[in-house]
Amino acid sequence: MPVFKLCMKIFLKNWLSISLYVAIFLAIAIMISMSTMSEQNKSSSFSQEKAKVALISEEKTPLTEGFRQELAKSSDFVKLPDRTEALQDALFFRNVTYILRIPKGFTEDVLNGGSMQMEKTVVPNSTENAYVDINVEQYWNMARIYAKHEPKASEQQVVKQLKKNLSGSTPVTIKAHERAQTANSFSMYYFNFLAYTLSAVLIMGISTVMIVFNKRDLSRRNFCSPMRARSINTQLILANLLFAAISWAILVAFCFLLDSKSFATQNILFFIMNSAIFTACISSLSYLIGNLLKNLNAMSAVCNVLTLGPCFISGVFVPQEFLNSTVLKIASFTPTYWYVQANAKIATLTHFEWSDLEAIFYSMVIVLGFAIAFFALSLVIGKRKRLIN
């Protein structure tokens, strides 16, 4: 199989330019992997954020001391001098986010069913302050209820009952195996970026081979040889398919090395299937480009346009939900758009019924349709070129 062997030699000769795309892709993939794993570690556990609170009490009673102890469970107390300027500076520099002042006579007012209010000054839009508000209202509302229904109870007894009632807690557990893979999953990002690298590698490799074999002198020499045209074409196609399969397998294997846990899920099977169909499509496109171009100098420019262009408008670099509807309509005429759309749906799969998979297979069929169209067109152009030559 001399044609097949020659194709392999051409692929090996261009390995440096091809490996450059792979190296850049892997560097990006590693960064994504590190950031994704960091986010997953953060989301695997729950802990309540504590607000920085300055509690200024103008009286010291059992109820206010009990309140201080309860508030300490959800807050970090910061001691500040009771001066307006010092308190304002602390809020401005975020040394505290919540200043609470208990006025003199507040405890007596609560026990007598009064409506005296505490004074609070907070940093706007602070999430931690919501917990403080809940704890403050819960403690003093319950104190008012006890004072109303048990008027003979002492402050110490009320504090003891409040401490008992507020001692409960609700554990929060996040079960990773019940969570659906989200659009932020490493696998989706990896296989989305795979579209750019795979397109560049295949176009650079396959188109180079086809341009070399389509040179007029070499083409005439080949078809004057005893070897049949069908045999030459078959060997060319086999060599290109082998190159595409090896490139795809290497890139998928790196996904396993970077995120081996994802290969235990059913989702990864659909990611692999989708990428295999996309590989076949880009191989057909590369075969077509090789039959259209006449020199190697133009190939780099065409490669950049046909890889970067669809990737920018199809959701590889920017998620599709952030792209303009007009841009997405234009992108829908490229296989990359449907490939990325299928990946987005695969990433959110939790059930694998036909109703869940129908949209994914629809996108895959469209990509496969592109592959067949590109291949058929390349065969027609290739045959016409041979007749002209």
What's the number of domains the chain is made of? 2
Average pLDDT over residues 33-42: 55
Three-state secondary structure call for residue 121: strand
The DSSP 8-state label assigned to residue 55 in this structure reads E
Residue 277 pLDDT level (bands cut at 50, 70, 90): very high
pLDDT (0 to 100) of residue 177: 43
Stretch among 61-65, 174-178, 330-334, 372-376 having the lowest mean pLDDT: 174-178
Is 336 a domain residue?
yes
Regarding whether 126 and 26 lie in a shared domain, the answer is: no
Does 34 score more than 80 pLDDT? no
β pairing state of 119-122 and 98-102: antiparallel
Does 303 score more than 60 pLDDT? yes
Regarding whether 328 and 299 lie in a shared domain, the answer is: yes
Regarding whether 279 and 134 lie in a shared domain, the answer is: no
Regarding whether 27 and 59 lie in a shared domain, the answer is: no
Residue 226 pLDDT level (bands cut at 50, 70, 90): low
Does 373 score more than 90 pLDDT? yes
**Cα separations (Å) of 165 from 131, 139, 169, 266?**
17, 10, 10, 46
Last residue of a domain, one of 119, 134, 165: 165
Regarding whether 242 and 93 lie in a shared domain, the answer is: no
Q: How far apart are CA 65 and CA 43, in angstroms?
A: 35
Average pLDDT over residues 221-247: 78
Does 343 score more than 60 pLDDT? yes
Does 155 score more than 50 pLDDT? yes
Regarding whether 238 and 368 lie in a shared domain, the answer is: yes
Regarding whether 346 and 274 lie in a shared domain, the answer is: yes
Regarding whether 97 and 31 lie in a shared domain, the answer is: no
Is 370 a domain residue?
yes
Spatial CB neighbours of 279, under 8 Å, sequence gap ≥ 6: 198, 202, 244, 245, 247, 248
174-215 pLDDT, tens digit each: 554 444 444 447 788 888 888 888 888 888 888 888 887 777
Model pTM above 0.75: no
Last residue of a domain, one of 143, 165, 187: 165
Q: How far apart are CA 262 and CA 250, in angstroms?
A: 17
Is 172 a domain residue?
no
Q: What's phi and psi for 274, nearest 5 deg?
A: -65, -45
pLDDT (0 to 100) of residue 267: 86
Regarding whether 195 and 308 lie in a shared domain, the answer is: yes
Is 171 a domain residue?
no
Regarding whether 322 and 191 lie in a shared domain, the answer is: yes
Is residue 128 within 8 Å of residue 49, measured between CB atoms? yes
pLDDT (0 to 100) of residue 127: 77
Is 211 a domain residue?
yes
Is 56 a domain residue?
yes
Domain extent for 223: 2-42+178-388
Q: Domain holding 74: CATH number?
A: 3.40.1710.10
Regarding whether 347 and 238 lie in a shared domain, the answer is: yes
Regarding whether 150 and 71 lie in a shared domain, the answer is: yes
251-266 pLDDT, tens digit each: 888 888 877 777 778 8
Last residue of a domain, one of 144, 165, 186: 165
Is 173 a domain residue?
no
45-87 pLDDT, tens digit each: 556 678 899 999 999 999 999 999 888 888 889 998 988 898 8
pLDDT (0 to 100) of residue 201: 87
